[in-house]
Every structure is written in structure tokens, then in C-alpha cells.
Structure 1
Amino acid sequence: MTKQLPSTKRSLPIALLRAREGVMAPIREMLGETGITEQQWRVLRVLAEHGSMDSTTLADRASLLFPSLTRIATAMRDKGLITQTRDNVDRRRQMIAITQAGQNIIDDHTEHAAGIVAGFQSRLGHENYEQLLDLLAMLDPDAQD
């Protein structure tokens, strides 16, 4: 006997894709005026929050594949949003840091981004919002508390 798949309305992968589009639409709108991509925004957010870090850690924290980060970082460096230097101890490690121009993009859009988050919290309710983040973290094999 063949087991039936759930309806696409109750399919977790499809539901996550639909939810991602709903979450990303207002962020894409906000980024439209910045001249940076969603991926570049994530890189800037991580660097603004955690400071300079090696490219492997940055790729992981920004949810990017390492080869993608390499390409994205080159474009961001060319725009003056980040710096790339070799680690003083391990010359194989590349360190990436946010520049003042990159930090200005974060600073200029913090209020708008916070408003987007507040809208999601309002729509879901604070408790549901936090629970959703906790539940999604349970699906992340690399999630750490």
C-alpha cells in the first residue's frame, strides 16, 4: 500500500516557501532603495551584530553557501561596504568586517526593518512569533542555543 503525500496546502516545504515569500516581500521593498541584495543585507546584519569574522563563520551565520559568499563579498568590497583582510595568525583565513558605508546602510534602515518585524509580531502575536522562531530553530540542524 502506497502512503499518500499530504495536500500541498499542508506540505511543510511548500508552506515554508510561501511563508518565506510573505516575509521577504516587505524586506525586498525596503532594500529596493538601498541598491543591495537580500544576501548582502544579511551579510551586513551579521557583521553589524557580531563584528569582524572569518568568511566561513560569516557564510554560516548569514545562511549562505561559501562559494556564494565569496562572490557576494567581492561585490560588497567593490561597493565599499566591507573590508577583506588576511588573519594575522592564520594567513589562510580571510577576515571580513563592515565599513562605515555598510554600517550606514544598516543604521539608515534599522527603523524600517524594526517596523517590518513589529508588523509580523503584531500579526502573529508576540507569543506566537517567538514560538514560530523556536519551532523553526528545531528544524535547523545547525541551530545552537
Structure 2
Amino acid sequence: MRAFRRSLPMALLKAREAVMARFRPLLHEHDLTEQQWRVLRALTTADEFRAGELARVSSISMPSLSRILRTLEKRGLIQRGIEDKDLRAAQISITPSGRDMIALIAPHSERRYAEITAAFGADRLATLYGLLDELADCLGGSDGGDEEE
């Protein structure tokens, strides 16, 4: 068995935790979890999403997404509508209040990205993004998105 420090899942988790340590305090200041933020961010990329698609692009399980959507809806940050073609399917979109929340947090988030870029290097970060996308693609885990975060 390979050395624990060379376990790919652990290396990815360690890097994720190092990155998220920069963002968590900002999200907590606005009473948001990481998953809630991912949902809000995903909702800024399209006019609306069906729940299954939103779960896929935000990498959140459907049961967790259901709880997150209830919370965000109660806070007035998202809204659910009925799809014309399938009355059972809800269409989820971000509200003006949700967009205001994004606008409030975005400059602070961008400062964190700038700090990470300065520490790691812009070229190395671009290479890392590319390698992570390639890894996800070759293992069948790509969401198909190429939007810059």
C-alpha cells in the first residue's frame, strides 16, 4: 500500500482544507455554509436550474441539496418555480437578495483568491486548474463547466 502522504484523496483533501481555511471565516461572517455558497455561486451561472442539475454542478447530494434549498429559500436568497413542461420539476433561481449577497461577498472572496495566487503563483495555479480538470475528465467526474471562479 502506498504511503499515506501519497494517498491522492488525502492530498486533495489537505489542499482543499488549506484553501477553504481562507474562505470559511468570510462565509461564516455572512451565516453561510460552504455548500450554501456553492449553490448560490452555481445559480449565478444560469437563469435557473432543475434540482438534479444544480446538485451535479455544485457537487452536492440531492438529500443535502434539498435541505440547503429550504434554508436558502427561507432566507429569501433563492426561489423555486414550476417548470412549464413538467409540473413536478422545480426550477431554482437566485433572487435579487441572493445576488446582493454574492455582490457583498465577492470582493472579499477575490482578495482571498489574490492572496492564494500571490502565494502559489499565477502560472502554477493555472497549471493546477488544468491538471485538476484533466484528472476529473479522465476519471469521468467533470461537470462540463469551464467557467473561471
Q: What is the TM-score when the length of structure 2 is the normalising length?
A: 0.88
Alignment of 1:105-116 (within 5 A): 105-116=101-112
* Over 2 Å off, 4+ runs: none
Higher Cα Rg, which structure = 1
Please report how far the alpha carbon of residue 138 of structure 1 lies from its aligned counterpart in structure 2 after TM superposition.
2.2
Aligned residue-pair number = 141
State the match for 1:142 in structure 2: 141
3-state DSSP of counterpart to 2:45: helix
- Residue 44 of structure 2 aligns to a residue whose secondary structure is helix
Name the CA distance, whole Å, in 2 between partners of 1:107 and 1:99.
Answer: 12
Q: What is the aligned partner in structure 2 of residue 97 from structure 1? A: 93
- Please give the secondary structure, in 1, of the residue aligned with 2:93: strand
Give the whole-Å Cα distance in 2 for the aligned partners of 1:6 and 1:112. 39
1:53 is aligned to: 49
Is structure 2 residue 8 aligned with structure 1 residue 9?
no
Percent identity of equivalent pairs:
37
Listed as ranges, the gaps of 5+ residues in structure 2 are none
Q: Please tell me the residue identity of whatever aligns with 2:39.
A: V
Gaps of 5+ in 1: none
Q: Deviations over 1:2-57 (max 9, x none)?
A: xxx22222221111111111011111010111011111101111111222111111
Query: What is the alpha-carbon root mean square deviation over aligned residues?
Result: 1.3
* Residues 65-124 of structure 1, C-alpha deviations (whole Å, 9 max, x = no match): 111111110111111110011101211221001111111110001111111111121122
TM-score scaled to structure 1, two decimals? 0.91
Q: Which amino acid is 2:60 matched to?
A: L
Report the Cα offset of residue 59 of structure 1.
0.8
Partner in structure 2 of residue 40 of structure 1: 36
The 3-state SS of whatever aligns with 1:45 is: helix
